[in-house]
Amino acid sequence: MGPQSNAKTLARVISRDHGLTCKVLQVANSIAYSPQQTIVSVPHAVSWLGLDTVRSLVAAAHLVEQLQHWPLRQQEFRTLIARSLIAATYASELGMAIGYPQPGQLFTGALLYSIGDLAIAYQDPDLFLALQAISKTTKRPSECVLQETHLIGVPRLTLAQALAHMWKLPDDLIELFRHPEDQPIAHWQSRPHTYRGILVGSIRLVEVLTGPAPRTAVAEAKKTLQLGSGLSSGPFRI
Question: What's the CATH number where 76 sits?
Answer: 1.10.3210.10
- B/e letters for 91-126, b = 16+ CB within 10 Å, e = fewer, are bbbbbeeeebebbbbbbbbbbbbbbbbbbbbbeebe
Average pLDDT over the chain, rounded to an integer: 79
One domain, residues 17 and 122: no
User: What mean pLDDT comes out for the span 120-131?
Assistant: 79
One domain, residues 85 and 141: yes
DSSP 154: S
What range does the domain containing 120 cover?
A: 71-236
| pLDDT at residue number 59 | 66
One domain, residues 154 and 196: yes
∠ CA 202-126-142 to the nearest 5 degrees? Answer: 50
One domain, residues 18 and 91: no
User: What mean pLDDT comes out for the span 91-114?
Assistant: 83
One domain, residues 15 and 79: no
Specify the number of domains making up the chain: 2
**pTM of the complete model beyond 0.95:** no
pLDDT tens, position by position, 196-224: 889 888 888 888 888 776 778 888 888 88
One domain, residues 111 and 167: yes
Consecutive H or E run containing 185? none
| pLDDT at residue number 134 | 84
As a whole-number percent, the residues of the chain with pLDDT over 90 amount to: 0
Is residue 64, in this structure, part of any structural domain at all? no
One domain, residues 30 and 75: no
pLDDT tens, position by position, 41-79: 988 988 888 777 777 677 667 666 666 666 566 666 777
Is residue 65, in this structure, part of any structural domain at all? no
DSSP 110: H
Is residue 129, in this structure, part of any structural domain at all? yes
One domain, residues 77 and 192: yes
